[in-house]
Every structure is written in C-alpha cells, then in structure tokens.
Amino acid sequence: MADRHVTIGVDIGGTKVLGVALDAHGNVVDRERASSLNNGRRDPGLSISLGLAEELCRRAGERGDLLLALGIGVPEYVDERGLLTSRLVMEWDVQALDLFGHLGTVRVESDVRCAAIAESKVGAGQSLGDFLYVSIGTGISSCLVLNGEPWRGARGEAIAFGELVVAQPDDVGGVTTLEDFASGSGMCDRYLAATGREVLGAEELMALAEAGNLEAQGILATSVRAVGMALTTAVDLLDPSAVIVGGGLGTSGGSWWERVSAEYRSGTAKRPGAPPLIEAALGSDAGAIGAALHSRK
C-alpha cells in the first residue's frame, strides 16, 4: 500500500498557483495550475489556491491514492510554527494551516524555502551541502541552504534578497529595492512609469528590448547589472559553495541569463575561487515539489 501514498504540494505565487502530487518515489503523478489573479487581486482569501488543492485531493481519491500530507508554499514570511507573519504579497485573512486543515495533515512554509528544498533534494543542489538559492521572477527572494537544509533565521525571515537597496538611475534619483527595480513586475512597472505603456510581463519587455526599444533596453540593462551586483554582494557575505538561480526569470535562459552571468563573473573576478552560478534544474515546478517534500517531515 505504501506505493499508493501521495503527498501534495501547492506553490502559491503572485501570478499563478501550481500544485503537484508526488508518489512514494518522488515522481510527479498529477499537477494542476491556475492564475492567482482575480480582478487584479492576488488570490483574495487564498480561495483559488484552496480550490486547486481540493481538486488535487479529489483526484487522488479517485485514483485510490492515500494522501499522507499537504504542503503549502506562500510568498510571505512564515515562522517555525508554519504561521504566516506578513501580508506583503497575498490577501489572506485565515492562516493557511487552518484554511487547508480539513484536507489532512498540512505544513506551511515560505515559497522560496520550498523551492530551495526541492533543488537540494532532487535538483541542482543534490551534490552540494551548502548553497545560496535565489528566486528571480515576479518577485525576488532567497534561501541559504546549510547541510542540505534551508536556514530560516531567527524569525523565519531570512529570505529577503529582494529587499537589498538599489540606487536608481540619475534621471530618477533616490533608492529602491532590488525587487522593485529588477524583478519581472519591477521592470514592467518601471517601463509603465517611463512610457505610459503597460507590458504584460518580463517576456514582453525583453521582446521589446530585442526589437530595439530603447527604453526597454535601458531597463533591462540596469536591472541585469543590479542583479549581478547583488549576487556578488551575497557571495562576498556568505561564501556559499554555489549560487543556484531559479524563478521564472532565473530559468528563462537566453540573453537574460547570459548577461547576469557576465555581470556576476565581472563582480567576482578578483576572488581566488568564485562559487559557480548555476541555473536551477526544476524550473517553475520547484516550489510545488518542495512543498510536497517538506510536508513529509
């Protein structure tokens, strides 16, 4: 019967929700995806995520699978008890532990720590005891992995790579955060402020840059430079074995990855042995897979 056991992981993001079911061997046997946006709001009350989790549980029952546990990854600060301690991204009003509790045993964790767990156990970090995982997509966050396990910090808040301060270009002035400056949503917001034109995501902005749009090219260039400098600073502080970059932008490949890699090489050139910069292996599945793995503890 053990072969019929499954764990379900749900990765709640600012633009999408992804859920997977893992069998006893860690294979993905089911998945479900939905937009987390509802009239411009990010999954108010986590109702979209709850419905997706309920659907995966229902299908597991139809297959005759036995649900061992459910893991929920959220883009918020989460303490050691699994309680959300912030409302920076999602419009939640009931703790996820309580909201999803009727489905079975539930464990809640920060989404970036879930992704780092997945990369550590079944992804690019399997052969590494220690590494820094950085997620760059709609937002930017991070997790330091020590001896194969995510380091939480004293309050569960050791994920705030995106809160590093960035000096804005001279024509704008002042400072902002790395997330507001260089994440997918940050770059799109900057383009809207500069041109009055809305772009639907980082892919569209990068396509505009490739097509010769000077404003998009400038935003992309300064964002890439800021990411490279921030990665260099993190390496200076932490000296990890490697830096693994995930998230939608982090695993987009192409010119973005090449340019960030070049900035990182330049920034770490004086180090006698800079940690390798590695693209995450699990792509957009990392958070959901990690949530499912985390639920087994």
pLDDT in tens, 128-164: 989 999 999 989 999 999 999 999 999 999 999 999 9
Reading the block at residue 75, the tokens are 């883009």
pLDDT in tens, 226-246: 999 999 999 999 999 999 999
Residue of 175 and 11 predicted with greater confidence: 11
State if pTM tops 0.75: yes
pLDDT in tens, 158-207: 999 999 999 877 666 678 999 999 999 999 999 999 999 999 899 999 99
β partners of residue 73: 11, 109
Class of domain 2-121+284-294: alpha beta
Every domain range in the chain assigned CATH 3.30.420.40: 2-121+284-294, 124-281
How crowded is residue 107: how many other Cβ atoms within 10 Å of its Cβ? Answer: 22
The architecture that CATH gives domain 124-281 is 2-Layer Sandwich (3.30)
Residues 6+ apart with CB under 8 A from 150: 113, 116, 117, 120, 143, 144
φ/ψ (deg, to 5) at 212: 105, 5
Tell me the mean pLDDT in the region 80-100: 96
pLDDT at 175: 82
Cβ burial 246-263 (10 Å sphere, 16+ → b, else e)? bbbbbbbeeebbebbbeb
